[in-house]
Amino acid sequence: MSQARVVRAPRGPERSAQSWGAEGALRMLHNNLDPEVAERPEDLVVYGGNGRAARDWRSFDAIVESLRSMGPEDTLLVQSGKPVGVLRTHDMAPRVLIANANIVPKWATPEHFRELEDLGLTMYGQMTAGSWIYIGTQGILQGTYATFAEVGKQHFDGTLAGRWVLTAGLGGMGGAQPLAVTGNGGAALCIEVDPWRARRRLEHGYLDEIADSLDDGLDRVTRAAAEGRALSVAVVGNAADVFPELVRRGVTPDVVTDQTSAHDALNGYVPGAMTLDEALELRRAKPKEYVDRSMASMAVHCQAMLDLQRFGSVVFDYGNGLRGQARDAGVADAFGYPGFVLAYVRPLFSRGSGPFRWACLSGDPADLAATDEAVLSAFPDDDGLQRWVRFAREHVKGQGLPARICWLGYGQRQVAGLAFDDLVARGILRAPVAIGRDHLDAGSVASPERETEGMRDGSDAIADWPLLNALVNTASGASWVSIHHGGGVGIGKSIHAGQVVVAEGTASSRRRVELVLTNDPATGVIRHADAGYDIALDTARDVGVTMPLEPGTHPPAWQA
């Protein structure tokens, strides 16, 4: 039974832990479960259907007590949301090491995972839920904004103005899509099965309107597109019902994607042809039947997207596992439309560019304003970054601790991090800054249906890379490091790693910030250079990333 308790991050310059590394982890753990941030904080669920910050409340309390009582040279080990040990290490070591849902490959199936979860032996950490660096819907917003900007660039003369986008899912990740579309000038029709989620996005400023019906929503969005107005409208309904209905009507959006929690057939996705209340009762009473109906609905949902593509829509997968689930449910050509990384993001990854995010541990909005200014000052010639930060300042409503995200490349991240560290050292910020990123990054993920789909050398499923990334970040002095299984695509389908480093304004933290924020993106450059991407090869040469065996010396099969 869920405990009725409200969790919010401590604020201010005074810490309750013996180091800022531990204090930063403690505050970000709390921030993940802030009611402004989490989807179901009473169940420790942050986002993504079942992505938890801790295994249970007893484990949460033990983590908090450990972080407060451990010494400044201790390291806490967290096994799938449960603290299992505190070990003496050293000042440069991470204060926390986290592993979530990592199952030996032969047993890495959703069914086996649920059995282990029911026994209380593991938990699903999603990406940034179980690694304590989720910052609300904003956390995915900039990447989504950049993706839709690239859609406009590739297909519509550089803008989405005059175009409309059909999508679904307004949860912790999908909730970023309406604002990302309107930020690029377009109109968005967002299908969401849960009225509460639609209202939440409206209240938080990510969504403009909620329509009374599908007809009403279509009318609002198509009129806005015809007039060249940016507008986002939600329709309360199920994508598995609405998408096929649009096919039947012959309605063809300009762009179609989806961000329902399709990776989790039990706890994330809602089957079609039933009310939300009926679905929740079926999930509770007959989980096997629920999963079967979810899978069947995903097949219908995906087939509708394939049909819309055939009718002329630009269609892409937004990394939620729908295509893989639909293929398993019998849609032979489920992968007939591309994933967003393959279609729009890989050149960024090849440069070591990715989602750089930070949270001001003081809780003071003035600290966020100062860090925004530091980023703008550090990169005055980066027009895209300048536009993004100003857009975010105007349109993004904060959730929990003041936080921001922007995409920075290799050679940029440590510049921003060191600027933050300097602000702390000079007393301009009231408290340190936790600097992290999404696990959806250049060198931190092996996910053949998302980040590593269609790698040039066929290395889609090689999971050495995220493991090396976690090891590098540990060796470089990150404040906490995590290795997860499953992420946004589901059990058996990805391995990914995360890091957070706290800028404390000391000589020691300056060293750690510089090493982590240099070496972390370097693994992305190396990973893509090794796969033969010219952009990454050029980047490696230009910035001096050392690769002992230059790609091509012993050519892989694709070069032979």
Candidate list 190, 302, 360, 406, residue with the active-site label: 406
Please give the structure tokens belonging to residue 148: 């839709």
pLDDT of residue 172: 79
pLDDT of residue 4: 73
Digit-coded pLDDT (tens) for 215-268? 999 999 999 999 999 999 999 999 999 999 999 999 999 999 999 989 889 989
Digit-coded pLDDT (tens) for 370-397? 999 999 999 999 998 998 999 999 989 8
pLDDT of residue 551: 66
Q: Listing from the earlier edge strand, what are the strands of the sheet with 255-256?
A: 209-210, 231-236, 187-192, 164-168, 255-256, 314-315
Assign 552 a pLDDT band (cuts: 50, 70, 90). Answer: low
Q: Which domain holds residue 216?
A: 138-344
> Does 477 fall in a domain?
no
Distance of CA 151 to the CA centre of its chain: 19
Over residues 461-490, mean pLDDT = 96
Assign 477 a pLDDT band (cuts: 50, 70, 90). Answer: very high
> Does 169 fall in a domain?
yes
Q: What is the CATH number of the domain that holds 176?
A: 3.40.50.10730
> Does 248 fall in a domain?
yes
Q: Who contacts 297 (Cβ-Cβ below 8 Å, separation ≥6)?
A: 238, 240, 269, 270, 271, 272, 273
The pLDDT > 70 percentage for the chain reads 98
- Whether residue 406 lies in the annotated active site: yes
Nearest to 470 by CA among 53, 199, 27, 102: 102
> Does 488 fall in a domain?
no
Q: Is the pLDDT of residue 339 over 80?
A: yes
pLDDT of residue 384: 86
Domain count for the chain:
1
Return phi, psi of residue 15, to 5°.
Answer: -110, 155
Q: Which residues pair with 45 in a beta bridge?
A: 40, 52
Assign 468 a pLDDT band (cuts: 50, 70, 90). Answer: very high
Report if pTM > 0.75: yes
Q: Average pLDDT over the chain, rounded to whole? A: 94
AA identity, residue 560: A
> Does 46 fall in a domain?
no
> Does 425 fall in a domain?
no
Q: Is the pLDDT of residue 300 over 60?
A: yes
> Does 469 fall in a domain?
no
Return phi, psi of residue 46, to 5°.
Answer: -90, -50
Q: Who contacts 333 (Cβ-Cβ below 8 Å, separation ≥6)?
A: 306
> Does 112 fall in a domain?
no
Cα 487 from Cα 445, distance rounded (Å)? 9
**Radius of gyration, CA atoms only, the chain:** 22
Query: Are residues 163 and 187 in contact, defined by beta-carbon separation less than 8 angstroms?
Result: yes
The pLDDT > 90 percentage for the chain reads 88
Nearest to 362 by CA among 300, 423, 405, 316: 423
Q: Is the pLDDT of residue 560 over 80?
A: no
**Degrees (nearest 5) of the Cα angle 548, 549, 551?**
130
